[in-house]
Structures are given as structure tokens and as C-alpha cells.
């Protein structure tokens, strides 16, 4: 036993003794049959040095973990920073996250399916290291040339370098075994996949750093059980909450580590509830402390991340069209910012109509026709994600008058209108031809000449939640358009048209009348000189409203990430067996090639160790259930196996199994958070398996004999077994 194992064993003995005394106390008058004899206690005291005693002074073994940790850190930094500037061009998703870092530097609003913390940190790292935010990050392979990109890569590499030291500390805390901790750290140091992910401008090293830090803080907090409400107890509790907010602030995958900490906390509270020496008042204090540290504090910090995000990105940019008109009104440079327009829709108004689903787009038309064989050979009507003159429509009466001469009349719930495309003067039209992509829907076209058409141009206005006679409010009313002839609803399907449709979004007429964001629209731009204007500043949403909308948009965006035609979609069962990697850069022999692939030896060893651990856990559980007597280090190892190993196994399951039920497109790199837990479990279980004879007994020659089965495990001359 090294110093940490002795201390761990002492803690278990002390905890058992405390529980034993509590049991005796709660059974007053009863004989304490299991109280250890003085001889046994004296023998134990001779074997195991206690805290505060002379034997607990620092020894040479106590410094071994420190020296080893320094070695782990140095190796980790060296492997991550080696050739950090190569290749000097954009690799894989650097085209996204590097560009988003530039947006933060330029304060330009954009949309992404992930929370903002990771991109903000990338932008900050670039800003602090001299990057000016001017590189366009158009596509992989673009040369960085004179642009200062190394700072953003170095920041990600620095956080990636923290993973092996964190793994070392976690496994050391769980197993109190330096060899086990060193094995776990080595697996991450020399894993080619972890190195690759850490060397580029990506969210993954940032996410994994927060996940590992969360687990380390949780484990450290668990060691403070005998010192409740002390400074160290509060420190590790609050730091756990801080790290949890960071994990969720980078990617929604951070929810999995939050769930892990939540399960650990629930078991901890359940244990405290069963402690009869603890009053309900004290239990309430424990509960409230955890609610504050692990729920309220992370929620406050997570909300603060978005507050900073909204403050920094205050200029109109490519993300405007994904959000509501009210949201856009707060962005400098957007046509809705500090604008004024009529509050209520009227006949004769020129408007833009925006779909309310994520990436639904603006109702749009242009001179191009649907190709032969795709419904009727009439003018295309699509949804376009950007502001454009071809998004303008004129609101007309059903008799085709535009009401330019008489007094203005408001459009109300239940009214029947025509929508004439301003540029081409053709009417919004539908008929019994199937839509180009969504075959159960009907085709929507532009039809007629100079506003003249037929009865298939008539649409009934419905204000969602309204009643007959209610006016249509600009920006605020959710509106649906019911086609009078067919009974279908104007819809943005969200599907991307082929090149003949300029890869814009398909607009259809849906026979399903249920209210969905696909069939809901709002009036955004509104021009009518006969109506009084109001300032749109009164329509600006509150912080909580834009926070809520941002999450709705992100969730819908994530669910909308489907594989495109001929795009490779990785399967979760591929990941643990290292079935297929991911190309980061280059495709032929003349290009600088980077390929994301885990070290096969390490990954297959992790897979084997998972099976080995489950087997050992089953045997240990059966032995405990059958009442097999466990004393000394055997008890320590069983405790480590079931509690420490069980927690790591749960972490692996939580970060891996949910991907089987996700409908979005998946990639190989999604497995790496789970891989961290399997590597730590390998270190704990392999070391336990290799050295279990030390606890459970062995026969045959001594380890110094080459013929001994333990000879290969005598790594130090001072080990006399």
C-alpha cells in the first residue's frame, strides 16, 4: 500500500467506526455486539498510520503523485502543441468555429445550434493574440496566409492538454492508486484522436475540459463528506456548479455530465437521509446548499453567458433571418432597428411575410419557372433566408383591387385576400399539383399577368388565437393563409430545393390544418403611406423573451441537422470499435492530410476493459450479496471497484447511449466525451485486475524470481511481494 491507499483505507475505517458508534447510540441499552476488541484496534493502529500522528508526516511516496502529475502535464502539452501551426490552412470545422470567433471580434450577429460560450472563448483567444477577425473562413483548405490564427489553435490545445492531468487526478482520487491514475492519463496522452481534436479551432477540447473539470470537482466534493459546510466543502461544491455551467454553455452535450452529477447528488442526499444522527433541519441545510451550488448558481452563470452573448453581438449579420422580426429589431444595421411602420395590416400595403419555423425564410418569388415535369410549368415560389427585393408582396382585395384611392381598410381575421408579387406582378397561387419535394403537399406558384388570375389565387387570413374581426398586427400576430379552393395551408416545408430552385426552401400548400410553425407566418416589413407609423422600439423583446427564443431556435436547428444527399452519417455502434475516422484535411497524396482516428490499441483496450469491469463488478456484487467477508485492502478495492468504477461506467453510458435515439446527423467526434470515461475506467480496472493478487493472495515464487507470475508487475525494486 502506498500513502494514499493507506489514507483511503483509514478513511473507510473511520467512516465505518462513526457509523458503528451511531448505530450503538441509536440502540441505547442494547449490547454493541460488533464492537471491535481493543486487541484488534491496537493491531489496526499499528498497521495503518492515522492522520495527525507521527507516522503521517510526508514521506517520499507522498511526493510520487506530484512528480507524476508534472510528468503527465509536460507530456500532454508537448503532444498537443507539437506542430500546432500545421497545416497553415482551414481544417474541417474550423471553417465554422473560426468564422464564429471572427463574428465575436466584429460584433456581428450569427446563428449556431450550440450555446455561445465556446465560440466566445475562441474569439477572445484570437483577439488577445492579435487576430483581427478579417479572415473569411469560407471553406476547408483556404490558406491562412498572413492572418494570425495560431492563438485560437493554441487556446484549444491548452484546454486539450488539461484532459490527461484531470484524468490522472480523478482516477487517483477514486482509486488512491498512482499506477491506475498514470495508466488512465497515458491513454489520453498518447491517443491520436484526442491529440487531433485538441490541435484545431473546435469546440470539442473546450467541452471536454469542462466535463472533466466537473467530474474532478464532484469527486473532490465527495471526499469532503466528513467536513460538511467547511471552506473546502463549499469550495468544491460551488466549483462543481461553475464547471457544469461551462459544460452546458459550450454544447448541449453538457447536459449528460449535469445528469451524472445530479445522480451522484441524489445518492448522496439519500445516504444523508438515512443517517439517523442527522436532524431533518441539518438535512434541509444540505439539500438547500446543493440546490444553490448545483442548480441556482449554474443556471445564473449559464444565463449570464447569454447576456454577454447578446451584448457583444449587437450588429446585424447572417443570423438575422433565423430569428423573429421582434428579435431582429434590437440589432444595429437591421432594417427593423429603430424603424417605424404602420401597426396594423391594411389593403394596399406592401409587405414581407416571414415563416416562423427555424430557417423557414421569407415568402419569395422570382422570374424562374418550375422545370418541366415538376408540377405546373409556372413561376417558382420559395422561401428565402435573406432580405431581398423579391420578398415584397402587395395585399389586394379578392376582386383584385389594391385600394390605392379610397381610405385605408384594415385586414382582419377571416378576410379573403390576394397576394401579388411586387416584382413580377403574379399572384400567390396553388392548385391540385403535387409539391416538388413534399409529395403529399400541393404546389405553390406565381400565376397571372399584372395581378389578374383566377379563383386559385384567393387566400383566407387566420390570426392564430384570434376571432373574426381581429386586426392583423405587424410583427406580433401569428398568421396562417388558408387556400380557399383546396383547403390547404401555406407552408414552408424546410426542405432545400435542387439547383433549379437556387437551393432555396420549398414552399407548399399543406393539407394538414393543425397549427405548426411551418404554417405560421408574420408580417415583418410593412409599407402603407395612408396609415400612421409607430416606433418598433416598443416591440423590442425583453431579455427573457430573446433567451427563450434563442433556445427554441437552437433546439429546432439541432433537430433539423439531417444528412444531405450522399453525405456520410456515422453510427454510434461504429465509435467504440474505432470503425471509421473522419477526414480533417486533404484527400490525395499531394495534399497535407489530417485524419481523426483514435489510437486503435487504446480504443480496443478500452472496449476490452469495459467488458472486464462489468465482469469484475458482477463478481464483487455477488460476493458481497453472499456475505463474503472482506477486510483490509480487500474491502478498499471492492469499495473502489463498485463506487469509483461504477461512477465512471455511468459517465460512459450517459455520454454514449443517448446518441442511439438522436434523429440528427452524427459524427465520429461525438464519442470523445464518452471515450474520456472509458479511458479512466480502463486505468482503474486494469490496475485493479493486474494487482488484485496483492489483496486476494497469491502462491508460487516471489516476484523477484523470473519464473514468478508476478515478476512482470514488480516495477520497483522496493516492491517486496
Q: Which one, of 156, 93, 117, lies nearest residue 254 by Cα?
A: 117
**CA distances (Å), origin 652, targets 117, 133, 233, 402:** 24, 38, 26, 64
Q: Which three cell numbers stand for residue 181?
A: 491514475
Q: What is the mean pLDDT of residues 68-76?
A: 96
Assess contact for 503 and 497: CB atoms under 8 A. yes
Ranked by mean pLDDT, the top range of 317-321, 402-406, 527-531, 705-709 is 527-531
- Residue 8: pLDDT band with limits 50, 70, 90: low
pTM of the model: 0.81
- Would you say residue 367 has pLDDT above 50? yes
445-500 pLDDT, tens digit per residue, is 999 988 888 999 999 999 999 999 999 998 889 999 999 999 999 999 988 899 99
Domains of the chain: which residue ranges? 66-310+598-696, 327-545
- Would you say residue 42 has pLDDT above 60? no
Model pLDDT, residue 459: 97
Mean pLDDT, the chain, integer: 85
Model pLDDT, residue 9: 47
Q: What is the mean pLDDT of residues 181-207?
A: 96
Residue with cell 483511503: 8
- Residue 402: pLDDT band with limits 50, 70, 90: low
Q: What is the mean pLDDT of residues 228-233?
A: 96
Give CA 488 to chain center in angstroms. 38
Model pLDDT, residue 24: 43
Q: What is the mean pLDDT of residues 87-106?
A: 95
- Would you say residue 704 has pLDDT above 90? no
Model pLDDT, residue 36: 41
Model pLDDT, residue 289: 97
At 336 the three-state DSSP class reads: coil
Model pLDDT, residue 528: 93
Model pLDDT, residue 40: 38
The domain at 327-545 falls in which architecture? Trefoil (2.80)
- Would you say residue 592 has pLDDT above 60? yes
The string of DSSP codes covering 608-635 is HHHHHHHHHHHHHHHHHHTT----THHH
The string of DSSP codes covering 360-371 is --EEEEEEEEPP
- Would you say residue 7 has pLDDT above 60? no
Amino acid at each position: 500500500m502506498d500513502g494514499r491507499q493507506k489514507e483511503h483505507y483509514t478513511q473507510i475505517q473511520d467512516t465505518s467506526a462513526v457509523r458503528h458508534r451511531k448505530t450503538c447510540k441509536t440502540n441505547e441499552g442494547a449490547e454493541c455486539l460488533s464492537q471491535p476488541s481493543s486487541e484488534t484496534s491496537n493491531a489496526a493502529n499499528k498497521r495503518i498510520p492515522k492522520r495527525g500522528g507521527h507516522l503521517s508526516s510526508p514521506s517520499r511516496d507522498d511526493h510520487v503523485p506530484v512528480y507524476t502529475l508534472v510528468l503527465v502535464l509536460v507530456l500532454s502539452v508537448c503532444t498537443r502543441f507539437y506542430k500546432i501551426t500545421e497545416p497553415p490552412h482551414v481544417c474541417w470545422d474550423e471553417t465554422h468555429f473560426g468564422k464564429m470567433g471572427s463574428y465575436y471580434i466584429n460584433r456581428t450577429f450569427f446563428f449556431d445550434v450550440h450555446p455561445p460560450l465556446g465560440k466566445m472563448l475562441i474569439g477572445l483567444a484570437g483577439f488577445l493574440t492579435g487576430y483581427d477577425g478579417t479572415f473569411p473562413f469560407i471553406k476547408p483548405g483556404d490558406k491562412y496566409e498572413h492572418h494570425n490564427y495560431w492563438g485560437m489553435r493554441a487556446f484549444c490545445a491548452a484546454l486539450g492538454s488539461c484532459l490527461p492531468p484531470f484524468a490522472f487526478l480523478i482516477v487517483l482520487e477514486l482509486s488512491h492508486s498512482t499506477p491506475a491514475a498514470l495508466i488512465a492519463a497515458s491513454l489520453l496522452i498518447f491517443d491520436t484522436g484526442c491529440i487531433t481534436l485538441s490541435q484545431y479551432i473546435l469546440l470539442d477540447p473546450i467541452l471536454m475540459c469542462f466535463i472533466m473539470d466537473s467530474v474532478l470537482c464532484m469527486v473532490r466534493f465527495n471526499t469532503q463528506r466528513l467536513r460538511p459546510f467547511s471552506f473546502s466543502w463549499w469550495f468544491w461544491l460551488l466549483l462543481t456548479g461553475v464547471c457544469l455551467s461551462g459544460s452546458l454553455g459550450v454544447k448541449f452535450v453538457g447536459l449528460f455530465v449535469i445528469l451524472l452529477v445530479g445522480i451522484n447528488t441524489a445518492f448522496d442526499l439519500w445516504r444523508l437521509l438515512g443517517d439517523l444522527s442527522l436532524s431533518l433541519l441539518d438535512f434541509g441545510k444540505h439539500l438547500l446548499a446543493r440546490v444553490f451550488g448545483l442548480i441556482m448558481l449554474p443556471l445564473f452563470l449559464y444565463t449570464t453567458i447569454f447576456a454577454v452573448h447578446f451584448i457583444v453581438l449587437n450588429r446585424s449579420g447572417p443570423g438575422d433571418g433565423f430569428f423573429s422580426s421582434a428579435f431582429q429589431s434590437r440589432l444595429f444595421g437591421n432594417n427593423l432597428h429603430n424603424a417605424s411602420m404602420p401597426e396594423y395590416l391594411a389593403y394596399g400595403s406592401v409587405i414581407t411575410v416571414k415563416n416562423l419555423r427555424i430557417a423557414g425564410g421569407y415568402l419569395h418569388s422570382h422570374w424562374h419557372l418550375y422545370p418541366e415535369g415538376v408540377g405546373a410549368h409556372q413561376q417558382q415560389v420559395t422561401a428565402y433566408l435573406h432580405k431581398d427585393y423579391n420578398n415584397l408582396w402587395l395585399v389586394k382585395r379578392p376582386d383584385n383591387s389594391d385600394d390605392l384611392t379610397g381610405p385605408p381598410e384594415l385586414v382582419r381575421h377571416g378576410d379573403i385576400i390576394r397576394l401579388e408579387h411586387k416584382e413580377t406582378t403574379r399572384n400567390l397561387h396553388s392548385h391540385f399539383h403535387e409539391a416538388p419535394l413534399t409529395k403529399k403537399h400541393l404546389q405553390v406558384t406565381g400565376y397571372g399577368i399584372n395581378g389578374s388570375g383566377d379563383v386559385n389565387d384567393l387566400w383566407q387570413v387566420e390570426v392564430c388565437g384570434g376571432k373574426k374581426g381581429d386586426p392583423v398586427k405587424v410583427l406580433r400576430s401569428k398568421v396562417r393563409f388558408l387556400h380557399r379552393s383546396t383547403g390547404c395551408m401555406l407552408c414552408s416545408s424546410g426542405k432545400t430545393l435542387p439547383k433549379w430552385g437556387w437551393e432555396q426552401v420549398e414552399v407548399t400548400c399543406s393539407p394538414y390544418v393543425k397549427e405548426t410553425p411551418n404554417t405560421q407566418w408574420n408580417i415583418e416589413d410593412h409599407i402603407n403611406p395612408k396609415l400612421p407609423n409607430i416606433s418598433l422600439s416598443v416591440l423590442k423583446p425583453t431579455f427573457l423573451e430573446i433567451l427563450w427564443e434563442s433556445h427554441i431556435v437552437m433546439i429546432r436547428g439541432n433537430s433539423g441537422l439531417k444528412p444531405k444527399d450522399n453525405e456520410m452519417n456515422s453510427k454510434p455502434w461504429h465509435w467504440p470499435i474505432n470503425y471509421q475516422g473522419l477526414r480533417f484535411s486533404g484527400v490525395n497524396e499531394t495534399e497535407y492530410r489530417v485524419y481523426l482516428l483514435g489510437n486503435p490499441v487504446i480504443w480496443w483496450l478500452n472496449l476490452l476493459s469495459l467488458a472486464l469491469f462489468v465482469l469484475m463488478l458482477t463478481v464483487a456484487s455477488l460476493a458481497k450479496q453472499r456475505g463474503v467477508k472482506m477486510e483490509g485492502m480487500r474491502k478498499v478495492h471492492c469499495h473502489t471497484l463498485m463506487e469509483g468504477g461504477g461512477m465512471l461506467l455511468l459517465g460512459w453510458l450517459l455520454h454514449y447511449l443517448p446518441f442511439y435515439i438522436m434523429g440528427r446527423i452524427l459524427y465520429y467526434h461525438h464519442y470523445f466525451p464518452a471515450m474520456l470515461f472509458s479511458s479512466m475506467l480502463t486505468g482503474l480496472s486494469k490496475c485493479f485486475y493486474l494487482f488484485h493478487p496483492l489483496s486476494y493472495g497469491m502462491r508460487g515464487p516471489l516476484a523477484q524470481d523470473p519464473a514468478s507470475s508476478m515478476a512482470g508487475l514488480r516495477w520497483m525494486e522496493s516492491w517486496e511481494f
